[in-house]
Amino acid sequence: MTKETPEQTSRRMAHQAVRDTKPEMVLRRLLFANGLRYRVDFRLPLPWRSSGDIVFPRLKLAVFVDGCFWHSCPDHGTRPQRNADWWAAKLDRNIERDRQTTEALRSAGWSVLRVWEHEAAGAAAQRIVDEVKRLQQAISDRCLK
């Protein structure tokens, strides 16, 4: 096996899907079938660049569909053996950025749901539907007061 040059690695990594992944598409279809309308790859109100995979802006609900590898799933996440130090730092930064994003959004009054790519799509969709209903009810209750 020949070793990639840094340029080849960079080019290959640039082609990794960042949106419209299979787990995300299946989840979006289920949400749409449940009558929900949402924004996709929506820029979030944070001081750094961050987008939610599925966002309900009026409800302030951001949903992230996290890949097991890139976000270090405790059940399925693996760490490459080659260039292990670099990968460990990279994946640890991803975990920290996820934590900071969730924390910042919650501090700004947003609800955040994180779905692992391995989760059953039906169960994940139901979690999101339930949260949307809860947030809609909370808004309705505030309006009636």
SS3 115: strand
Q: What DSSP element (H or E) covers 83?
A: none
Identify whether 96 is part of a domain.
yes
Q: Answer whether 112's CB lies under 8 Å from 60's CB.
A: no
The CATH number given to whatever domain includes residue 134 is: 3.40.960.10
Identify whether 60 is part of a domain.
yes
Identify whether 85 is part of a domain.
yes
Q: Using DSSP bridges, classify how beta strands 61-66 and 39-43 pair: parallel, antiparallel or unpaired.
A: unpaired
pLDDT at 22: 92
Number of domains in the chain: 1
pLDDT at 77: 84
Identify whether 56 is part of a domain.
yes
Identify whether 90 is part of a domain.
yes
Identify whether 87 is part of a domain.
yes
Identify whether 137 is part of a domain.
yes
Residues 6+ apart with CB under 8 A from 69: 76, 77, 78
pLDDT at 81: 87
- Domain, as residue range, for 48: 6-144
Identify whether 1 is part of a domain.
no
Token pair belonging to 85: 């130090």
Tens-digit pLDDT profile for the chain (145 aa)? 567 676 765 565 555 556 779 999 999 999 999 999 999 999 999 999 999 999 999 999 999 999 998 888 888 888 888 888 999 999 999 999 999 999 999 999 999 999 999 999 999 999 999 999 999 999 888 887 6
